[in-house]
């Protein structure tokens, strides 16, 4: 039986791919952890899709796979598989989702259907991972493809949340209370 615990990290240190021992609060370890959290949360998102959005499950699984590549690019010297085309693909999907949703004229409250609400939360996890990568970049310069991908990924998740909510019949709620009240009156 293979054991999954090593006891290496019992005192607040962990081993990088290079073999170097660093604190678990090291900028690289924090960034990798936040990207891992995002990958895991995308798994939660996919469980909320059900049959209605089954076509998006494979797409998000591909995003999870791309995040593994991104983690390798951060961890392993001379490993650089992220490309500007990865970001271009996200931008194309943002445009596709946006073309099928009502125009956005103001800030909205995150939420909606279970799938839409999970996607909104995933967007915030992506932003946190991006902030960590930006902080890491100050100490360990990263390829720009990593930073642009993480930046666009949150836009992609936001656009997908709006798209899924629209398909689910959810009417977005303006963040401004007075505008929300007027919109509710118009709908009733």
What tens-digit pLDDT sequence spans the chain (188 residues)? 888 888 888 888 888 888 788 888 999 999 999 999 999 999 999 999 988 898 999 999 999 999 999 999 999 988 999 999 999 999 999 999 999 999 998 898 899 999 999 999 999 999 999 999 999 999 999 999 999 999 999 999 999 999 999 999 998 888 888 777 776 666 56
pLDDT (0 to 100) of residue 4: 84
The CA-atom distances, in angstroms, between 188 and each of 110, 177, 181 are: 22, 17, 11
Decide if 146 contacts 74 (C-beta within 8 A). yes
| Of 116, 106, 118, 94, residue with least CA distance to 165 | 116
pLDDT at 178: 78
Q: How many residues does this entry show for the chain?
A: 188
Report if pTM > 0.95: no
Cα 40 to chain center, whole Å? 10
Question: What domains are defined for the chain?
Answer: 13-187 (1.20.1200.10)
Find out whether 41 and 107 touch, Cβ atoms under 8 Å: no
Residue 174 backbone phi and psi in degrees, to 5: -60, 150
Categorise residue 111: left if φ over 0, alpha if ψ from -120 to 50, beta otherwise: left
Burial, 43: exposed, middle or buried (Cβ in 10 Å; 0-12, 13-18, 19+)?
exposed
Contacts of 55 (CB under 8 A, 6+ apart): none
Nearest-angstrom CA–CA distance, 71 and 81:
10
Q: In this structure, what token pair is assigned to residue 52? A: 């209605």
């Amino acid at each position: 039986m293979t054991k999954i615990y090593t006891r290496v990290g019992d005192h607040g240190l962990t081993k990088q791919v290079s073999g170097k021992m660093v604190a678990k609060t090291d900028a690289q370890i924090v960034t990798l952890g936040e990207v891992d959290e995002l990958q895991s949360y995308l798994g939660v998102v996919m469980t909320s899709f059900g049959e209605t959005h089954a076509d998006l499950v494979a797409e998000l699984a591909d995003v999870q796979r791309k995040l593994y590549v991104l983690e390798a690019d951060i961890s392993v010297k001379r490993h650089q598989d992220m490309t500007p085309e990865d970001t271009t693909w996200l931008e194309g999907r943002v445009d596709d989702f946006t073309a099928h949703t009502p125009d956005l004229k103001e800030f909205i409250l995150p939420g909606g259907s279970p799938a839409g609400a999970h996607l909104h939360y995933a967007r915030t996890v992506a932003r946190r991972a991006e902030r960590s990568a930006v902080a890491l970049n100050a100490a360990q310069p990263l390829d720009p493809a990593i930073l642009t991908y993480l930046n666009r990924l949150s836009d992609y998740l936001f656009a997908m949340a709006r798209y899924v909510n629209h398909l689910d019949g959810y009417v977005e709620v303006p963040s401004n209370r007075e505008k929300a009240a007027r919109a509710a009156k118009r709908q009733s």
